[in-house]
């Protein structure tokens, strides 16, 4: 098998030779932004939406991306073609670039752009059929006036620490609360619950990322006539929910069967969750929902 080719600043390098400077602020300080994107059967799913979000995150960091959105789109497609991949997980990274050992971003004259196309396995086994176990982490989501998860930045220490706790407790995934004790999101996923036939999800004011997959779920609910409300969710609300599930680019949609040893609903994926998962599968199989490779 040929070695994967990694895009770095307009050039391609074999995976074993793909490197950045140790003076890059993305490495030194987590100073940068990224997107995780999926390609299905030769179509990059919601590529425009992902690139738009990348540029919004960069704008919030006053990070100047050295490519136009069109050029970035072409670079992603070119990288997939270079690796002859029709199905892939794409990691698009823009760091502040090479500077010195100080914090001042003015010392970084040009951002670094990296595109990786590979495969990813987030959830082993048959999680979509059985659901996952979760727990509330002691690690609170950073507030919206700090390193908020509204910005998809390279600083994911908040999520990493919550994931470490879940791993140590033998739980599949962690749930993160905001500073007021309301549910924000998972370590890298949006959260939805079902109560009395209606869907609820937290607002981004909890520090949660505005998810692309979550947005698709919202569009599906309108199509099939399920009411969706954006509202603060308390731990009690998810404990007593009829159904609950995660959404995210990498994991797509995964039911939640347990939170802090409390069974959710019947302990199995519920009818609304299964209906939404089936509809989501139709969307990702629709070539009009992305950019052709």
Report the SS3 class of residue 135: strand
Q: What is the pLDDT of the chain when averaged over all its residues?
A: 96
Known catalytic residues are 152
Quick one: which of 52, 78, 77 has its CA closest to 65? 52
| pLDDT value for 120 | 82
Nearest-angstrom CA–CA distance, 213 and 191: 11
Q: Taking the domains of the chain in order of start, what are their residue ranges?
A: 5-118, 127-284
pLDDT at 183 exceeding the cut of 60: yes
For residue 186, the model assigns a pLDDT of 97
CATH of span 127-284: 3.20.10.10
Q: Tell me the mean pLDDT in the region 69-90.
A: 97
Q: How far apart are CA 4 and CA 85, in angstroms?
A: 10
pLDDT at residue 27 in the model: 97
| 1: confidence class by pLDDT, cuts 50, 70, 90 | low
Look at the alpha carbons of 103, 163, 214, 244 in this order and tell me if their dihedral is positive or negative: negative
Residue written as tokens 């929910």?
241
pLDDT of residue 219: 97
Q: How confident is the model at residue 123 (pLDDT cuts 50, 70, 90)?
A: low
Whole-angstrom distance, CA of residue 185 vs CA of residue 259: 13
In this predicted structure, the answer to whether residue 124 has a pLDDT above a threshold of 90 is no
Average pLDDT over residues 255-263: 98
- Mean pLDDT across 72-81: 98
- A 10 A CB-CB count for 166 gives 20
Query: pLDDT per residue over 214-253, tens digit each?
Result: 999 999 999 999 999 999 999 999 999 999 999 999 999 9
Q: Are 246 and 173 in contact (CB under 8 A)?
A: yes
Average pLDDT estimate for 122-131: 79
Q: Which fold has domain 5-118?
A: D-amino Acid Aminotransferase; Chain A, domain 1 (3.30.470)
Average pLDDT over residues 270-281: 97
| Contact in structure between 263 and 287 (CB atoms under 8 Å) | no
- Would you state the pLDDT for residue 2? 85
| 20 in Cβ contact with 112 (< 8 Å) | yes
pLDDT in the model for residue 125 = 65
**DSSP for residue 230:** E
């Amino acid at each position: 098998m040929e070695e994967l080719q990694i895009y770095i600043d307009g050039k391609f390098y074999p995976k074993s030779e793909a490197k950045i400077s140790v003076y890059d602020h993305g490495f030194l300080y987590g100073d940068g932004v990224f997107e995780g994107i999926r390609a299905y059967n030769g179509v990059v799913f919601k590529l425009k939406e992902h690139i738009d979000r990348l540029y919004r995150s960069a704008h919030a960091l006053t990070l100047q991306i050295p490519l136009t959105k069109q050029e970035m789109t072409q670079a992603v497609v070119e990288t997939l073609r270079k690796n002859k991949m029709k199905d892939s997980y794409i990691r698009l990274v823009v760091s502040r670039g090479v500077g010195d050992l100080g914090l001042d971003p003015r010392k970084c004259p040009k951002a670094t752009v990296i595109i990786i196309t590979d495969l990813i396995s987030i959830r082993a086994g048959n999680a979509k059929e059985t659901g996952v176990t979760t727990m509330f982490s002691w690690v609170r989501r950073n507030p919206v006036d700090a390193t908020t998860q509204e910005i998809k930045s390279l600083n994911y220490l908040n999520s990493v620490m919550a994931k470490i706790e879940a791993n140590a407790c033998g739980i599949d995934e962690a749930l993160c609360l905001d500073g007021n004790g309301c549910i924000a999101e998972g370590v890298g996923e949006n959260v939805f619950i079902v109560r009395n036939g209606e869907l609820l999800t937290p607002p981004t004011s909890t520090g949660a990322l505005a998810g692309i997959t979550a947005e698709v779920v919202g569009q599906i609910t309108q199509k099939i006539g399920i009411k969706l409300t954006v509202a603060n969710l308390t731990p009690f609300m998810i404990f007593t929910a009829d159904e609950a599930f995660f959404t995210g680019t990498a994991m797509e949609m995964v039911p939640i069967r347990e939170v802090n040893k409390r069974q959710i609903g019947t302990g199995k994926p519920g009818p609304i969750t299964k209906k939404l998962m089936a509809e989501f599968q139709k969307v990702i199989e629709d070539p009009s929902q992305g950019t052709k490779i």
